[in-house]
Structure 1
């Protein structure tokens, strides 16, 4: 789900946002290794001292860009509101997929490309992203998947479901990096068609894993009937 940059209530916040946006655009197009603070400062129309003041150094700026990119694609506050809603767990999963599709829309090009680059070639900065943005979101998502499958949120069987749910969505980040025949065809689909496909793929796997888990643990109820 798209969330606008922080409100620019002071000159400092305006400068912070301008640097962050400029850095995101450059990192998306040229990558971390080829993007210098001097390039970012020129694009943001600030001096190098401003970058150091707001982000400490080049690593701090890159980490801030990764965090902002992830926040724009899936916002933890939006996930929290979804988790607290009265929707059935299956509907929460569909809404989650809608958030991701909204986040990977064309207007989110640089966040998508920055994260795509990091996924394809993870750096040491991935750990910071995981701790600050990914971990709290995963906790919410695991609770939703647990409600769907009846597998406890801390059970390894549920953790194994995460890559199966996340991988198709992550591929949207990867293929969204550059125009291609495949990417164009995927993003030419309507949002409804793409969401329905990803949801059907995810829920089918979760139902199968939930049923297998029940059988392995001696549960007697019929999951398919429960979940219909």
Structure 2
């Protein structure tokens, strides 16, 4: 009795997803260095050959886990859908904050823990994650910020805006709950309050930078550093 290709493909996808889930849980709990392929195989109830078949090796598996973790944080499909929606650019930014805050507050979610570990102690795999997952999403977010500010997408001023907006979101992701301090106080606040604050604060900053950018465009000399008068001449 022959087995259809569809059945084989479905079984293979189920096994791959089971390995990915098991690896994500173990990497989140113990980190990449402390998690062996043998432990992952046991947790996923597969043999080592299955890991090599689907991911090549432990490095390939870890990169796949990082990519899946970032997709669970926010997918490129969802981000493009938001960017293409009919709401204002300001509302798009608000919805982005709401989404990220909600994800950051997901207790026990392995994807957040994996990303936090990688951000706090970057490995060589972070470059792969940035290239394959993060940068395409950044381009979409840059366009939203450009629509808000009127600053061209490729302008360095917009890059600074992007970093200023991403930084507090990154802090929410890597923060450990229960650790005393102001950040823990923020994490205990309702998500809607946090998202509203991030949005209000971001819009004020974006408006200030946008205004400064427009003024600089009108008077290019304002953006140039003043020339030194040089040493005073002796009389």
TM-score range with shorter-chain normalisation? 0.7 to 0.9
The answer as to whether partners of 1:67 and 1:133 remain within 8 angstroms in 2 is yes
SS of equivalent residue, structure 1 residue 35 = coil
Task: Give the number of aligned pairs.
Answer: 210
**What SS does the aligned partner of 1:49 have?**
helix
1:35 match: 35
> Secondary structure of 1:217's partner?
helix
Q: Work out the CA distance in 2 between the residues paired with 1:205 and 1:186.
A: 20
Q: Which residue of 1 aligns with 2:11?
A: 11
- Asked if structure 1 preserves the Cα contact closer than 8 Å seen for 2:175 and 2:184, the reply is no
Superposition TM-score, scaled by structure 1 size: 0.87
Deviation of the 1:80 alpha carbon:
0.5
User: What is the aligned partner in structure 2 of residue 96 from structure 1?
Assistant: 96
For residue 102 of structure 1, report the CA deviation from its aligned partner: 2.2
Unaligned runs of 5+ in 2: 1-8, 220-235
Q: Which residue of 1 aligns with 2:20?
A: 20
Equivalent residue for 2:120?
120
- Counterparts of 1:78 and 1:53 in 2: how far apart (Å)? 30
How far does the alpha carbon of each residue in 1:124-155 deviate from its partner, in whole angstroms, 9 at most, with x for none?
Answer: 11111111111110110000000111000000
Give the conservation status (yes or no) of the 8 Å contact 1:94–1:199.
yes
Give distance in 1, aligned partners of 2:41 and 2:180.
35
Q: Given the alignment of the two structures, is residue 174 of structure 1 paired with residue 199 of structure 2, yes or no? A: no
Is residue 83–residue 144 contact of structure 2 (8 Å, CA) maintained in 1? yes
Aligned residue in 1 for 2:223:
none
Shift of 1:179: 3.7
Give 1:97 shift.
Answer: 0.8
Q: After superposition, give the CA deviation of every residue in 1:43-68 in whole Å (9 maximum; x if it has no partner).
A: 11111111001100011000000000
| Aligned alpha-carbon RMSD (Å) | 1.6
- Structure number with greater Rg is 2
Displacement of 1:108 in angstroms is 6.0
Instruction: Report the CA distance between 1:186 and its aligned residue.
Output: 2.9
Write the distance in 2 (CA, Å) between the matches of 1:47 and 1:184.
Answer: 41
* C-alpha distance in structure 1 between counterparts of 2:106 and 2:153, whole Å: 34
Whether the 8 Å CA contact 2:73–2:100 is kept in 1: the answer is yes
Matched ranges for 1:117-196 at <5 A: 117-176=117-176, 179-182=178-181, 184-196=184-196
Note if contact 1:142-1:158 (Cα within 8 Å) is conserved in structure 2. yes
Q: How far is 1:184 from its partner?
A: 4.8
Task: Tell me what 2:83 maps to.
Answer: 83
- TM-score, L = length of structure 2: 0.85
**Quick one: distance in 1 between partners of 2:68 and 2:145?**
25
